[in-house]
Structure 1
Amino acid sequence: MGYFGTLVYSEGRWRTGRPTAVPFLMVDVHDSDIATVDYRAADATGGRFFLGYEPRVYFDEPDASVPVDTDAEAAGFARWVKDAVGTEVEPAELRGLMASPGGVPPTDEVVEQTVERLLVLAGLPVPEWPTDEDAPPG
């Protein structure tokens, strides 16, 4: 079984749970195979894309998610990174990390590694991923 959890970057640090301020970047990981990446700017613009697999492909359920326009999301996330972090990143580099809308299998890495590669491109700190020891008892 892989990692399940949500991490949020806002106010200059990573935390678990929901965003506390804008701009924010939220990464929701499902079984180390899918990462849903949501980003919002101070003006409430933002978007969503996936790393690893799109849910509709992973679960073989066409209604599980809308196909992502990776060109538009790569451009939108590049704008967010520039505005929120001050880093310039090429949309093509971002697009290369995004889940394929056509279902082409991603690399053999766990999605947390892809998240880390995305964050390094964006100039953001890499979070400390919670471990089983961090889980509440029971």
Structure 2
Amino acid sequence: MGLFGQFAYSDGRWSRGGPTAVPFLLVDVHDSGFATVDHRRADASGGRFFLRYEPRFYFAEVDASDPVDVDAEAEGFAAWTKEATGTDLDPADVRPLLASPTGVPPTDESVELTVDRLAALAGLPPVQWPIEADGYAG
């Protein structure tokens, strides 16, 4: 079994559970297989995308999630990053990390690795992943 957990970045740090301020980034990891990423800016704009797989492909259920416009979400995340960390991020660098809208299998072995790559691009500190016997120990 992989890692299940919710991790929030707000107020300049990562925490378990929900965010404490806006702007925020919320990463919900499901069995190390995929993550739902929600981000909100100070003006309440934001977005949602997935890492590794969209739920509709992960669960093989077409109604498990709506298709994601990955180009728009990459641009939205780059704007969030500029506001939250001051980092200029090219959406083209984000795009390859997002789950494929056609279900193409990801290259990373676990979603935690993809989250680590996304955090580094955004200028965020690394997530402190829990170390458990059957969890990710990155």
1:130 Cα deviation from its structure 2 partner: 1.5
TM superposition score normalised by structure 2:
0.93
| Residue identity in the other structure for 2:66 | V
Contact 2:24/2:40 (<8 A) preserved: yes
2:132 aligned partner: 132
The structure with higher relative contact order (CA 8 Å, sep 6+) is 2
1:18 Cα deviation from its structure 2 partner: 1.0
1:73 aligned partner: 73
1:1-138 aligned at under 5 Å gives the runs 1-132=1-132
1:108 Cα deviation from its structure 2 partner: 4.1
1:131 Cα deviation from its structure 2 partner: 2.5
What value does the CA root-mean-square deviation take over the aligned residues?
1.0
| Gapped regions of structure 1 (runs ≥ 5) | 134-138
- % identical aligned pairs: 67
Contact 2:108/2:114 (<8 A) preserved: no
- Offset from partner CA, 1:34-67 (integer Å, 9 cap, x none): 0111000011000000001000000011111111
Q: Counterparts of 2:108 and 2:71 in 1: how far apart (Å)?
A: 23
Structure 1: which 4+ aligned runs deviate by more than 3 Å? none
- Offset from partner CA, 1:75-108 (integer Å, 9 cap, x none): 0000010111100111011011000010000014
Q: Counterparts of 1:117 and 1:17 in 2: how far apart (Å)?
A: 21
1:20 Cα deviation from its structure 2 partner: 1.5
| Gapped regions of structure 2 (runs ≥ 5) | 134-138
TM superposition score normalised by structure 1:
0.93
1:109 Cα deviation from its structure 2 partner: 1.7
- Offset from partner CA, 1:108-128 (integer Å, 9 cap, x none): 421100000000000000111
1:136 aligned partner: none
Paired residue total? 133
3-state SS, counterpart of residue 124 of structure 1: coil
| Residue identity in the other structure for 1:40 | R
Q: Counterparts of 2:9 and 2:47 in 1: how far apart (Å)?
A: 15
